[in-house]
Amino acid sequence: MHKVLHNIDKLVFGRGAIAQVPDQLQAWRNEGSGSVVFVIDHYFKDHALLEKLGIRSEDVVCYEDCDVHEPTTQQVDRLRDQIIEQIGVPSAVVGMGGGSIMDIAKALSLMLKQEGSSSLYQGLDLIKHAGVPHLGIPTISGTGAECSTTAVLTGPEKKLGLKCAWTVFDQVILDPELPATVERDHWFYTGMDTYIHCIESETGIHQNAFSRAYGGESLRLCREVFLGPDAGQNPKNDEQLMIASLFGGWSLTYSEVGVCHALSYGLSKILGYRHGFANCVAFQHLEDFYGPAVSEFKEMLGTNAVELPQGLSRDWSDEQISAMAQVSWNLPHMWIHALGHDWQKRISPEEIKDLFKRL
Ligand SMILES: [Fe+2]
């Protein structure tokens, strides 16, 4: 069976595009109850940009803090219950922030129409009813969450996405002016998420002409942004990285991620590491899987004067390492892509533990 790519219905790209949000929301307001839920990164509380969203008195605005931990099933359940109690089912959900906020907005849009906890729906095609219309406004580039068909949540048992045709945003506003305020290291780690998506996407059995086309162009843009003569944070690179993130997201959606993401999920689930940072911590030690790309990644670290911590595993207990290896082992789709259908013959849980001990 070939994959079906469920895509964004409407996409607006360009400087100042955020000003079009109220118009985009109007059709949904006319159809539903009229109210809109805005899930916004707490960084933007009281920020002048909020005036451009057309927030009305009947709307609900939720400022979420994703600095300390990645989105959880509990967090989405709490938001869903609170909103239903306050205004019932809204006309639409808007997410404005980084990848974590994108994931919360996507999950919330689905959960407003499902019964029970979101942890029941972690996996492929477990969602029973279409969610409410949702619009994404990414304010940092790299995660691909703006176009991916999954809403990744950490639950009581696993870190896994709510993945189905209805997860993908109906509308996305890509405004390259928004990432201008992102702190440098965070910008780099998140940008590297895209680089790693593309390397993993093209290094595995699910790669194909579609994933290579988007991944190849995304890699070209990443190389300009992180290694080119004008490398670093600047308006031109903000535009390029925003498109690299989108293309990287499409590339991995039509292929798969691999070893680095499998390890990164373990780091996030057990130690709470943020996704982009966790990827970087793992990727630097994966020469035997992604050789030349790891060398290039280290060059990017140097060019952008970013230093990654070393010897982290010295402070981890054997129990923690085993737990991380277990999280990784439970992501067979990533291992199949990277190592083949007989992946369990090629790597053991003990060898996955050894990979964590490298970090
Ligand atoms: Fe990622």
The predicted-structure confidence for 244-293, as pLDDT tens digits, reads as follows 999 999 999 999 999 999 999 999 999 999 999 999 999 999 999 999 99
Six token digits for residue 256: 């798969």
**Same domain for 155 and 43:** yes
**Same domain for 16 and 105:** yes
Task: Please identify, among 155, 180, 205, the residue that sits at the C-terminal boundary of a domain.
Answer: 180
**Same domain for 43 and 19:** yes
At 197, which CATH number?
Answer: 1.20.1090.10
Cα(135) to ligand 1 centroid in Å equals 20
Task: Please identify, among 152, 180, 208, the residue that sits at the C-terminal boundary of a domain.
Answer: 180
**Same domain for 147 and 228:** no
Model pLDDT, residue 3: 84
**Same domain for 328 and 199:** yes
Provide, rounded to the nearest whole percent, the portion of the chain with pLDDT above 70. 100
How many Cβ atoms from other residues are within 10 Å of residue 265's Cβ? Answer: 28
**Same domain for 235 and 108:** no
Cα(261) to ligand 1 centroid in Å equals 6
Cα(4) to ligand 1 centroid in Å equals 20
Cα(247) to ligand 1 centroid in Å equals 13
Contact partners, residue 119, CB within 8 Å, separation at least 6: 73, 153, 155, 156, 157
Element (H, E) at 60: strand 60-64
**Same domain for 194 and 174:** no
Q: Report residue 335's pLDDT band, with 50, 70 and 90 as the boundaries.
A: very high
Number of domains in the chain: 2
Model pLDDT, residue 138: 97
Please, which residues bridge with residue 159 across strands? 154
Q: Report residue 35's pLDDT band, with 50, 70 and 90 as the boundaries.
A: very high
**Same domain for 166 and 292:** no
**Same domain for 152 and 26:** yes
Model pLDDT, residue 159: 81
125 domain residue, yes or no: yes
| pLDDT surpasses 80 at 53 | yes
Cα(260) to ligand 1 centroid in Å equals 9
Model pLDDT, residue 179: 87
| pLDDT surpasses 80 at 204 | yes
Please, which residues bridge with residue 40 across strands? 63, 96
3 domain residue, yes or no: no
Cα(265) to ligand 1 centroid in Å equals 9
4 domain residue, yes or no: no
Contact partners, residue 273, CB within 8 Å, separation at least 6: 264, 267, 281
User: What 3-state class would DSSP assign to 38?
Assistant: strand
- As a residue count, the chain comes to 359
2 domain residue, yes or no: no
Cα(193) to ligand 1 centroid in Å equals 5
Output the pTM of the full model: 0.94
Average pLDDT over every residue of 25-38: 94
Model pLDDT, residue 331: 93
Model pLDDT, residue 321: 98
35 domain residue, yes or no: yes
Q: Which domain holds residue 338?
A: 183-357
Cα(184) to ligand 1 centroid in Å equals 18
| pLDDT surpasses 90 at 32 | no
Q: Report residue 180's pLDDT band, with 50, 70 and 90 as the boundaries.
A: confident
Q: Cα separation of 266 and 321, whole Å?
A: 9
**Same domain for 200 and 172:** no
Cα(86) to ligand 1 centroid in Å equals 34
Model pLDDT, residue 319: 97
At 49, which CATH number?
Answer: 3.40.50.1970
**Same domain for 32 and 163:** yes
| Mean pLDDT value across the chain | 95
201 domain residue, yes or no: yes
**Same domain for 50 and 123:** yes
Task: Please identify, among 180, 211, 246, the residue that sits at the C-terminal boundary of a domain.
Answer: 180
| pLDDT surpasses 80 at 1 | no
Handedness of CA 31, 37, 41, 44 (dihedral sign): positive
